[in-house]
């Protein structure tokens, strides 16, 4: 298998002896040949199966020539918006533009368009009208069906229709992309590739042989938000490769969008193969003069040990993208990768992370999932751990011990999420003890998200008492180890279900804890999560119940201010929130109060009629001098 970077120019193609590429991969990120980047995995998988792939990174979408840089591919174009949805990449939840893009050379913002997958695909269509275009990556995966788009505040069609592409490879595409490539290579027209798991296609003729579930039409969902909530929940229940059904979403003009069943999960040997491919494990050297790619810093010396998540948080899209079945790499594969770190001159002996979506998930939640799939109407951990849950950390403990013994490794950190309710469900405390002793750098970040059980139920998170039990256990284990390490809780404001009452409840918890977080995450309605559907429809798709949702920027600012009520800048917002909640008892001098009464000075100052000169600089200085004098007098009286 050939090493080195994939071609990014005609000169590279010539140097590698390639006259025409099989696939041209158009990506919204910088070209980073590292398995933490989806484009690297997909391109290397294709290369391992005998196909040539070239990369066009962040093309100028205003210039059609940029898409023709590598010529017409023999089999088709692959398109991804990047490792993040382009709109999440570009905008804060406030819809203000982010100042930097860590997936772009030098961190520059503005190198990719909004809705990048749609723009790139349409750009290709203008130059190559009949060339197959296959969308992939997180943006296409989460927008594969009709979806609520927070930034335009409307229900949008499937990205397949707006982009003009032929197929979507959704989820983790290692299986589907090879099947698509083989089908195209055998001469099958792209419109006839309707049989690949993990894909979405459009058609005017439904195959009667499919056991398809017909969802409400796009027009019906636009007219009735309840129908959209019901449709999304059906999609959510059919994200399993063993039990999922083919889904059909009708559109005007007799167009049907068909989602095939998800791809089967990868076995451990298959996962090992994916991560053993000849990645360069660094950004393309052409970016060096631009300052490199910031995103590589945190992941360069991290190990991806698993994928998939059975945590079931409603605000997370992992269920929709990677699925609930956990897939893992072998110890041998991970140790081998860690051993290679010592040859990198930048390696200082610290492995930054060993994990995935949830670090301490190293096996499916129960054995039946690998043959029968996950339960459609039951979660593994919510509202309580399932009786069939295999809550064990012995494999993870063995892995971490091996990694600690790798030459030149000084410390192995765990920085991806620890699911604390799963940790407590394990009767063996070995992992918890070793986590405290060996794998934390002074503080452990965890995600209780909230303290109100009412809000936690909407989030799909465990009751607050579970987090309190975890905190107490963490404290005791630190004492036993003779260590002083802290917990840093991630908290979320304005999630559906959070009224001002629940926001005050969270503020009181932080008061009792003596902690004010430096950062607070407002709920961000990203595509294809249950919480986003609640935000848009006001309905919990799981049971059809009504959900209160904070939507106005001012109300969201008040809820956020309550979490950071000690910050003087938040005083007015926090005080207003307490008044709205009927909790003015929390404004006062009692130790239980959140805010002190704010001194208000009324200067009954009569400046008189100064005529036109009253607004000049001299007049302003005189008034400021008088105000300062009054303040000084008041201070002396107070003393």
pLDDT at 241: 94
Residue that has been written with the tokens 């999304």 in this structure? 232
Helix (H, G, I), strand (E, B) or coil at 618: helix
Q: How far is CA 139 from CA 24, 28, 233, 366, in A?
A: 19, 10, 20, 30
Instruction: Tell me the per-residue pLDDT of 28-75, one tens digit each, with 9 for 90 and over.
Output: 999 999 999 999 999 999 999 999 999 999 999 999 999 999 999 999
Bridge partners of 446, per DSSP, are 489
Instruction: Give every CB contact of residue 468 below 8 A, 6+ residues apart in sequence.
Output: none
pLDDT at 624: 52
Bridge partners of 27, per DSSP, are 57, 80
Q: Report the alpha-carbon distance of residue 142 to residue 200 in Å, rounded.
A: 12
Rounded percentage of the chain residues whose pLDDT exceeds 70: 93
Q: How far is CA 57 from CA 61, 79, 383, in A?
A: 11, 10, 44
At residue 516 the predicted structure's pLDDT band, cuts being 50, 70 and 90, is confident
Q: Cα 264 to chain center, whole Å?
A: 22
Q: Report the alpha-carbon distance of residue 333 to residue 28 in Å, rounded.
A: 29
Q: Cα 253 to chain center, whole Å?
A: 35
Q: Report the alpha-carbon distance of residue 449 to residue 575 in Å, rounded.
A: 23
Instruction: Tell me the per-residue pLDDT of 418-461, one tens digit each, with 9 for 90 and over.
Output: 999 999 999 999 999 999 999 998 899 999 999 999 999 999 99
Instruction: Tell me the per-residue pLDDT of 450-493, one tens digit each, with 9 for 90 and over.
Output: 999 999 999 999 999 999 999 999 999 999 999 999 999 999 99
Residue that has been written with the tokens 């109300």 in this structure? 555
Q: Report the alpha-carbon distance of residue 497 to residue 307 in Å, rounded.
A: 29
Query: What is the value of pTM for the model shown?
Result: 0.90
Instruction: Tell me the per-residue pLDDT of 239-289, one tens digit each, with 9 for 90 and over.
Output: 999 999 999 999 999 999 999 999 999 999 999 999 999 999 999 999 999
| Domain parsing of the chain, residue ranges | 10-197, 301-441, 472-606
- Pairing label, strands 133-136, 76-80: parallel
Helices (H), 331-438: 331-341, 369-372, 394-404, 420-425, 430-438
Q: Report the alpha-carbon distance of residue 318 to residue 541 in Å, rounded.
A: 17
Q: Report the alpha-carbon distance of residue 348 to residue 318 in Å, rounded.
A: 32
Instruction: Tell me the per-residue pLDDT of 71-96, one tens digit each, with 9 for 90 and over.
Output: 999 999 999 999 999 999 999 999 99
Percent helix, strand, coil in the chain (nearest 5)?
A: 40, 15, 45
Instruction: Give every CB contact of residue 551 below 8 A, 6+ residues apart in sequence.
Output: 535
Q: How far is CA 90 from CA 24, 138, 492, in A?
A: 25, 15, 20
**Average pLDDT over the chain, rounded to an integer:** 92
Structure tokens at 621: 């200085």
The number of helix segments (H) and strand segments (E) in the chain equals 24, 22
Which residue, among 141, 53, 112, has the nearest Cα to 528 in the 3D structure?
A: 141
For residue 554, give the H/E element and its range: helix 553-563
Q: Torsion-angle region of residue 51: left (phi > 0), alpha (psi -120 to 50) or beta?
A: beta
Q: Does 10-197 carry CATH code 3.40.50.280?
A: yes
pLDDT at 638: 37
Residue that has been written with the tokens 């398809």 in this structure? 212
CATH architecture designation of domain 301-441: 2-Layer Sandwich (3.30)
Q: Report the alpha-carbon distance of residue 399 to residue 405 in Å, rounded.
A: 10
At residue 616 the predicted structure's pLDDT band, cuts being 50, 70 and 90, is very low
Which residue, among 277, 334, 267, 346, has the nearest Cα to 302 in the 3D structure?
A: 334
- The neighbour count for residue 493, using CB atoms within 10 Å, is 26
Structure tokens at 294: 């910031």
Q: Report the alpha-carbon distance of residue 57 to residue 69 in Å, rounded.
A: 11
Q: Report yes or no: 281 and 34 within 8 Å, Cβ to Cβ.
A: yes
Q: Report the alpha-carbon distance of residue 145 to residue 152 in Å, rounded.
A: 16
> Does the pLDDT at position 617 exceed 70?
no
Q: Report the alpha-carbon distance of residue 264 to residue 246 in Å, rounded.
A: 14
Alpha carbon distance, N-terminus to C-terminus of the chain: 81
- Pairing label, strands 255-259, 246-251: antiparallel
Q: Which residue has the higher pLDDT, 606 or 359?
A: 359
pLDDT at 610: 37
At residue 211 the predicted structure's pLDDT band, cuts being 50, 70 and 90, is confident
Q: Report yes or no: 172 and 263 within 8 Å, Cβ to Cβ.
A: yes
For residue 490, give the H/E element and its range: strand 486-493
């Amino acid at each position: 298998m050939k090493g080195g970077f994939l071609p990014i120019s005609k000169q590279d193609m010539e140097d590698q002896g390639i006259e025409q590429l099989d696939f041209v991969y158009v990506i919204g990120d910088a070209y980073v040949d590292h398995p933490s980047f989806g484009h690297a995995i997909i391109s290397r998988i294709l290369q391992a199966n005998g196909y040539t792939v070239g990369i066009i990174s962040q093309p100028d979408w205003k210039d059609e020539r940029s898409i023709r840089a590598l010529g017409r591919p023999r089999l088709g174009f692959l398109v991804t918006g990047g490792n993040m949805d382009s709109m999440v990449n570009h905008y804060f939840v406030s819809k203000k533009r982010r100042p930097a893009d860590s997936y772009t050379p030098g961190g520059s913002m503005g190198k990719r368009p909004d809705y990048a997958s749609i723009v790139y695909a349409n750009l290709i269509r203008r130059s190559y009208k009949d060339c197959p275009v296959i969308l992939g990556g997180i943006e296409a995966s989460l927008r594969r069906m009709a979806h609520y788009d927070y930034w335009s505040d409307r229900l949008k069609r499937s990205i397949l229709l707006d982009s003009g592409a032929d197929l979507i490879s959704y989820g983790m595409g290692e299986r589907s992309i090879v099947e698509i490539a083989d089908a195209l290579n055998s001469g099958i027209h792209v419109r006839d590739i309707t049989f690949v798991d993990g894909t979405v296609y459009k058609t005017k003729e439904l195959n009667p042989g499919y056991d398809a579930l017909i969802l409400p039409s796009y027009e019906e969902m636009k007219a009735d938000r309840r129908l959209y909530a019901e449709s999304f929940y059906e999609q959510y229940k059919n994200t399993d490769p063993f039990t999922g059904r083919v889904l059909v979403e009708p559109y005007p003009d007799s167009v049907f969008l068909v989602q095939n069943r998800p791809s089967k999960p990868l076995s451990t040997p298959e996962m090992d193969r994916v991560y053993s491919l000849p990645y360069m494990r660094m950004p393309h050297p052409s970016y060096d003069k631009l300052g490199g790619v910031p995103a590589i810093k945190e992941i360069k010396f991290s190990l991806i040990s698993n994928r998939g998540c059975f945590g079931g948080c409603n605000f997370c899209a992992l269920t929709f993208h990677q699925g609930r079945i956990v897939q893992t790499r072998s110890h041998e594969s991970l140790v081998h990768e860690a051993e290679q770190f010592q040859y990198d001159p930048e390696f200082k002996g610290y492995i930054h992370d060993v994990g995935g979506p949830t670090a301490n998930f190293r096996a499916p939640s129960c054995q039946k999932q690998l043959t029968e799939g996950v339960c459609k109407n039951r979660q593994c951990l919510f509202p309580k751990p399932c009786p069939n849950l295999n809550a064990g950390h012995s494999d993870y403990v063995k892995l971490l011990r091996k990694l600690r013994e790798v030459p030149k490794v000084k410390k192995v950190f765990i920085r991806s999420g620890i699911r604390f309710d799963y940790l407590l469900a394990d009767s063996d405390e070995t992992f918890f003890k070793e986590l405290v002793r060996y794998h934390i750098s002074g503080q452990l970040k965890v995600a209780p998200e909230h303290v109100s059980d009412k809000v936690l139920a909407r989030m799909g998170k465990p009751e607050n008492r579970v987090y309190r039990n975890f905190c107490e256990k963490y404290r005791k284990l630190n004492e036993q180890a003779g260590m002083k390490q802290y917990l840093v809780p991630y908290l979320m404001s304005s999630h559906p279900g959070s009224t001002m009452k629940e926001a005050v409840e969270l503020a009181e918890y932080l008061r009792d804890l003596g902690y004010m977080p430096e950062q607070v995450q407002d709920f961000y309605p990203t595509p294809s999560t249950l919480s986003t559907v609640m935000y848009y429809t006001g309905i919990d798709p799981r049971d059809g119940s009504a959900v209160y949702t904070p939507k106005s920027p001012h109300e969201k600012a008040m809820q956020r201010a309550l979490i950071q009520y000690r910050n003087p800048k938040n005083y007015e917002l926090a005080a207003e929130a307490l008044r709205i909640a009927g909790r003015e008892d929390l404004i006062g001098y009692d130790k239980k109060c959140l805010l002190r009464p704010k001194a208000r000075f009324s200067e009954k100052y009569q400046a008189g009629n100064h005529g036109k000169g009253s607004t000049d600089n001299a007049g302003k200085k005189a008034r400021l001098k008088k105000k300062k004098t009054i303040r000084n007098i008041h201070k002396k009286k107070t003393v």
